């Protein structure tokens, strides 16, 4: 799925984290290392972080640009550089992307980095430059481009005292070694030790041997800068140190094309008089720990020169040696100053990178707090919606129970009216039956008086008995109906009481839900205030 652009795009559209790590790498790290241009474009479109460091052990804290440069993937590098990837960011071993490109012999990758402002003389934690790595790889075209086009110094030494030509010789890259040996002091930035000074005082090789050995001793002293890596960090740095005096080139004249600043009183470009050396201002930074020892060495050398001069040498020979020593000391001072400036630049770049990482970490913490606040707000909104839904259901249940209660009340009232009507009708019928009974009794009495009315009396008696039975049946039916209505009224009354209890319970639950909602809102306000206090403390 790593190279499937459609799958990556669909995952990101579904809300996948574009900077999610797997085994220490993000998707951008994997795509950059494998040269997957279209995947890189999709990831950068979804705001993938091009400066995020890989946590995979073999990547040594490199960014996507480090991995793309190491693989020589030019189009991927171009996309990353357009996305504001930093060409001078260091990995955990102090290496820039240019070191990795040089270690694989990717000249075109180096050209692209150089065109975007990368320092081709950058030194890693072991003081190795891209030229050291290119010499280790053995590609002559890459080495030639670094020297002739990029104009790098060829005489920089790593922490083990090796120049690029020493690394090439160690790994049997003889073509590279011959090229570097014939280059002299460097490319465009160096003059190879020529000019008036070289013609008067001999080759640069003989002048540098003593100074290089003394400077190497200074580099291994207790004044070494504490920010440098304590151990070697690449294949060239792990080699045993075996430099030869005849292979040491002149780095002093390979620094700048500018001529040395000479006082106006000196004759024809020569060095300063012997007496002026002691009062000459130091070219090293004020906080350099080498200034005092350097001044003592200068004074010691001048004392020895004066002693030799007073010991029987001719005046012209003494003057020649004095001028030669002055020029050597000036060149040594210049070399030391330039090396200290290079170290200070490395420290400054490291500090800038640390500040950028701290800022990025602070931004990540702030973004995390914002995500937590957003999640808390979303959870609160969901809980509030659930509570509102429960309250709505409770209100609907209460309304339904009230409607049922109203219907039950209407049914009770209708039944009560019906019972009253039936009772009234029963009373009326009873009164009518009583009246008929009285009338029949009166007729019976009259019929008994007449013998002729015997049959009439018999029929009247039967009718009276029939009416009496009907009246009894009507009474019983009325009593049964009354009992049934009374039972129904009692049942409806019980239902009404139960509904009232349910309504009271639901009202109580609604009050509890409202109280809980208010407590949750208060808790959320308190949590948000606490989170903002933490964010302000960390930002402050």
Taking only the tens place, the pLDDT of each residue in 510-540 is 888 888 888 888 888 887 787 788 777 777 6
Lowest-pLDDT range, 120-134, 374-388, 452-466? 452-466
Q: DSSP class of residue 52? A: P
Is the pTM value of this prediction over 0.75? Answer: no
Residue 186, helix vs strand vs coil? strand
pLDDT at 53 over 90: yes
Yes or no: say if 67 and 59 are a contact pair by the CB < 8 Å rule: yes
- Distance, in Å, from the CA atom of 149 to the CA atom of 114, rounded to the nearest integer, reads 10
Lowest-pLDDT range, 159-163, 275-279, 479-483? 275-279
Residues in the chain, total: 540
Yes or no: say if 413 and 420 are a contact pair by the CB < 8 Å rule: no
Lowest-pLDDT range, 33-42, 128-137, 275-284, 320-329? 275-284
Confidence of residue 136 (pLDDT cuts 50, 70, 90): very high
Across the range 449-467, mean pLDDT stands at 73
* Alpha carbon distances (Å) from 139 to 105, 152, 168: 6, 16, 10
Q: DSSP class of residue 287? A: T
pLDDT in tens, 243-252: 333 333 333 3
Question: Is the pLDDT higher at 438 or at 89?
Answer: 89
pLDDT at 453 over 70: no
**Mean pLDDT: which of 105-114, 352-361, 387-396, 479-488 is highest?**
105-114
Tell me, what's the pLDDT at 134?
96
Tell me, what's the pLDDT at 202?
34
Across the range 459-477, mean pLDDT stands at 82
Task: Give the burial class of 160: count Cβ atoms within 10 A of its Cβ; 0-12 exposed, 13-18 middle, 19 or more buried.
Answer: buried
Tell me, what's the pLDDT at 213?
39
Residue 26, helix vs strand vs coil? strand
Lowest-pLDDT range, 56-60, 162-166, 344-348? 344-348
pLDDT in tens, 278-334: 333 332 333 333 334 444 444 455 444 444 444 444 444 455 567 888 887 888 888
* Alpha carbon distances (Å) from 480 to 28, 431, 466, 493: 90, 20, 21, 20
Tell me, what's the pLDDT at 321?
61
pLDDT at 237 over 60: no
Lowest-pLDDT range, 91-105, 212-226, 500-514? 212-226
pLDDT at 396 over 70: yes
pLDDT at 91 over 90: yes
Lowest-pLDDT range, 72-81, 94-103, 289-298, 427-436? 289-298
- Distance, in Å, from the CA atom of 260 to the CA atom of 323, rounded to the nearest integer, reads 14
Tell me, what's the pLDDT at 221?
36
Tell me, what's the pLDDT at 233?
39
Question: Is the pLDDT higher at 108 or at 314?
Answer: 108
- Distance, in Å, from the CA atom of 465 to the CA atom of 494, rounded to the nearest integer, reads 43
Across the range 457-473, mean pLDDT stands at 80
Tell me, what's the pLDDT at 331?
82
Which H helix or E strand runs over 22? strand 21-22
Lowest-pLDDT range, 310-319, 348-357, 358-367, 455-464? 310-319
pLDDT at 181 over 60: yes
Question: Is the pLDDT higher at 327 or at 1?
Answer: 327
Which of 256, 253, 250, 247 minimizes the C-alpha distance to 162? 247
Confidence of residue 169 (pLDDT cuts 50, 70, 90): very high
Which H helix or E strand runs over 202? none
Residue 444, helix vs strand vs coil? helix
Domains in the chain (CATH in brackets) are 5-222+229-356 (1.25.40.20), 365-539 (1.10.287)
Across the range 419-443, mean pLDDT stands at 83
* Residue 378: count of CB within 10 angstroms of its CB: 10
Tell me, what's the pLDDT at 421?
84
Confidence of residue 257 (pLDDT cuts 50, 70, 90): very low
- Distance, in Å, from the CA atom of 172 to the CA atom of 167, rounded to the nearest integer, reads 9
pLDDT at 131 over 50: yes
């Amino acid at each position: 799925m790593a190279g499937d652009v459609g799958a990556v795009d669909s995952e990101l559209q579904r809300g996948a984290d574009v900077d999610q790590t797997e085994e220490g790498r993000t998707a951008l790290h994997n795509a950059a290392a494998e040269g997957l241009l279209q995947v890189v474009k999709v990831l950068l479109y979804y705001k993938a972080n091009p400066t995020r460091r890989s946590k995979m052990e073999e990547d040594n804290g490199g960014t996507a640009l480090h991995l793309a440069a190491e693989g020589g993937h030019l189009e991927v590098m171009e996309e990353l550089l357009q996305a504001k990837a930093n060409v001078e960011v260091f990995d955990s071993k102090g290496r820039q992307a240019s070191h990795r490109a040089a270690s694989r012999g990717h000249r075109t990758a180096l050209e692209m980095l150089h065109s975007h402002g990368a320092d081709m003389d950058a030194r890693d934690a072991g003081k190795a430059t891209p030229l050291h790595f290119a010499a280790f790889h053995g590609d002559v075209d890459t080495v030639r481009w670094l020297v002739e086009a990029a104009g790098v110094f060829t005489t920089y030494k790593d922490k083990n005292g090796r120049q690029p030509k020493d690394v090439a010789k160690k790994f049997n890259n003889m073509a590279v070694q011959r090229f570097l040996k014939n280059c002299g002091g460097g490319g465009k930035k160096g003059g190879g030790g020529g000019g008036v000074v070289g013609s008067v005082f001999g080759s640069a090789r003989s002048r540098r041997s003593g100074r290089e050995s003394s400077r190497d001793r200074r580099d291994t002293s207790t004044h070494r800068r504490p920010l440098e890596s304590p151990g070697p960090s690449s294949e060239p740095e792990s080699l045993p140190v075996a430099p030869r005096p005849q292979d040491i080139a002149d780095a002093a004249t390979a620094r700048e094309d500018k001529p040395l600043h000479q006082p106006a009183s000196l004759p024809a470009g020569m060095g300063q008089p012997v007496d002026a050396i002691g009062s000459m201002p130091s070219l090293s930074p004020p906080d350099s720990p080498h200034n005092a020892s350097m001044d003592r060495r200068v004074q010691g050398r001048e004392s020895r020169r004066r002693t030799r001069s007073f010991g029987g040498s001719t005046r012209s020979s003494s003057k020649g040696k004095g001028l030669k020593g002055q020029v050597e000391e000036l060149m040594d001072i210049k070399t030391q100053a330039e090396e200290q400036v290079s170290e200070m630049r490395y420290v400054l770049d490291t500090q800038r990178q640390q500040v950028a990482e701290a800022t990025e970490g602070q931004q990540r913490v702030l973004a995390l707090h914002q995500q937590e606040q957003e999640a808390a707000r979303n959870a609160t909104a969901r809980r509030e919606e659930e509570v509102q839904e429960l309250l709505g259901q409770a209100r609907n249940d209460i309304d339904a129970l009230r409607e049922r209660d109203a219907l039950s009340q209407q049914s009770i009232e209708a039944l009560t009216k019906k019972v009253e009507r039936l009772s009234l009708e029963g009373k009326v019928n009873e009164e009518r039956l009583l009246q008929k009974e009285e009338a029949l009794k009166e007729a019976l009495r009259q019929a008994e008086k007449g013998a002729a009315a015997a049959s009439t009396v018999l029929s009247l008696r039967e009718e009276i008995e029939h009416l009496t039975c009907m009246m009894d049946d009507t009474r019983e039916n009325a009593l049964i109906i009354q009992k049934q209505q009374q039972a129904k009224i009692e049942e409806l009354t019980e239902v009404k009481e139960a509904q009232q209890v349910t309504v009271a319970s639901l009202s109580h639950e609604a009050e509890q839900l409202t109280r809980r909602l208010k407590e949750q809102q208060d808790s959320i306000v308190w949590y948000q205030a606490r989170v903002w206090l933490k964010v302000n403390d960390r930002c402050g």
